[in-house]
Amino acid sequence: GETRQLSADTVIISSNENPLGPAKSALDAICTTAPLGGRYHFDETMKTLTVFNELFGLPKAGPKQPSYSALFPGSGGPLDLALMSNIGPDKPLVYGDPSYEQGFRAADAMKAPKFPVPLTATYAHDVKAMLKAHPSPGAYYIVNPNNPTGTMTPKEDIVWLLNNKPAGSVVIVDEAYHHFSNDESCIDLVAKDKDIIVMRTFSKIYGMAGLRAGFAVARPDLLQKFQTVSPAGRSLASISITSSAGARASLLDKDLVPLRKKINSDIRSETLEFLTKKGYKIVPGSQGNMFMVDVKRPGKEFQQAMLKENVAIGRSWPAMPNYVRVTVGTKAEMEKFQTAFVKCMDMAPG
């Protein structure tokens, strides 16, 4: 969006990207693979699926065993397929508020009734209220850690929802920010053949937002259902060999996640400590690469003031109009953010 027309020295902490970019291991794999790009290499995707399935204890895919995972260019496309193949005019969508907007946008596209459910006091998805929202939804959408708050929904709550939800519905758990958190993933529930679809992306901790790679993880029949979303369901799964190789190298790079997780949590803690000490109000409990802060005026207005200071921050949500979302950048970027933030907060609103 707007951040792409900015000057070269603008701090970009608006889209929950990773300022570190792709890991060296991923770049090496991409460079080795690029010269082979004249051919399709249909086996390339299968190599990455095999690594993923092995890492997560999912059944090994083969001629008689369809894969429990599917590789896509990013996770936004398959998220649409996961949503759209399960919702419709008589199959509503139940989702958290505030949360990632792609859920209700897919519902709009499918003319599916929408049931937003406010987060709890600790900014978790309120699974009890989500269950009560409608007797027979098509899907429940849970973002964990949540976007924009970075807050967690306990895994036992998701398990409870899976065990108590009506038959014929699915729980879609979007784990785009999972690697930054301390909690357990829900992918093991896929191997237990539950009605769950877990989304993963390489756009966040792996720093490959522009390179595009992501996974949908689910029972083969649920993945098969993606193809009923016409016409994109079939063609969307085609990913470049460079992105596939970069994703695979990232998965196999043992140091990458722990190192980047620590970098993110250290810088996030320092930033939140600064804001809290200065008396600003933040949403506590973020385990993501983002946080929300109360700017005591319409978020859009504050976002524009910050832009004048060469700092591009994220948007606000209708449920929290006076809060803005800020991505955790590098240490140097967050120092620039802090200076600009104090300056803009000191200016009178309006």
Residues 6+ apart with CB under 8 A from 139: 82, 83, 86, 87, 91, 93, 94, 169, 170, 171, 172
| Candidate ranges 201-209, 234-242, 313-321, 338-346; the one touching ligand PLP (CB under 6 A) | 201-209
Q: How many CB atoms lie within 10 A of CB 113?
A: 17
Shortest distance, CB of residue 287 to ligand PLP, whole angstroms? Answer: 13
Tokens representing 123?
A: 């900014």
Determine which residue in the list 18, 25, 53, 75 makes contact with ligand PLP, applying CB under 6 A: 75
Buried residues in 204-222 as b, exposed as e (16+ CB within 10 A): bbbbbbebbbbbbbbbbeb
Q: State the amino acid at position 286 in one-letter form.
A: S
Asked if residue 214 binds ligand PLP (CB under 6 A), the reply is yes
> What single string gives the DSSP state of each residue in 68-97?
SEEEESSSHHHHHHHHHTT-BTTB-EEEEE
Q: State the amino acid at position 164 in one-letter form.
A: N
Asked if residue 71 binds ligand PLP (CB under 6 A), the reply is no
Buried residues in 20-53 as b, exposed as e (16+ CB within 10 A): bebbebbeebbeebeeeeeeebeebbeebbbebb
Asked if residue 22 binds ligand PLP (CB under 6 A), the reply is no
Radius of gyration of the chain (CA): 20
Shortest distance, CB of residue 143 to ligand PLP, whole angstroms? Answer: 5
Whole-number Å distance between alpha carbons of 131 and 6: 44
Asked if residue 80 binds ligand PLP (CB under 6 A), the reply is no
| Candidate ranges 51-59, 71-79, 162-170, 233-241; the one touching ligand PLP (CB under 6 A) | 71-79
Asked if residue 74 binds ligand PLP (CB under 6 A), the reply is yes
| Candidate ranges 28-36, 68-76, 241-249, 325-333; the one touching ligand PLP (CB under 6 A) | 68-76
Asked if residue 52 binds ligand PLP (CB under 6 A), the reply is no
Asked if residue 79 binds ligand PLP (CB under 6 A), the reply is yes
Asked if residue 201 binds ligand PLP (CB under 6 A), the reply is yes
Determine which residue in the list 174, 181, 207, 283 makes contact with ligand PLP, applying CB under 6 A: 174
Shortest distance, CB of residue 110 to ligand PLP, whole angstroms? Answer: 18
Could you tell me how many residues of this chain bind ligand PLP (CB under 6 A)? 14
Contact 123, 146 (CB under 8 A): yes
Determine which residue in the list 100, 302, 323, 337 makes contact with ligand PLP, applying CB under 6 A: 100
Our CB check for ligand PLP shows the closer of 143 and 324 to be: 143
Asked if residue 203 binds ligand PLP (CB under 6 A), the reply is yes
Determine which residue in the list 110, 176, 196, 313 makes contact with ligand PLP, applying CB under 6 A: 176
Secondary structure (H, E, C), 283-307: CCCCCCCEEEEECCCCHHHHHHHHH
Our CB check for ligand PLP shows the closer of 249 and 290 to be: 290
Contact 185, 175 (CB under 8 A): yes
Name the residues that contact ligand PLP, by CB under 6 A: 16, 74-76, 79, 100, 143, 147, 174, 176, 201, 203, 209, 214
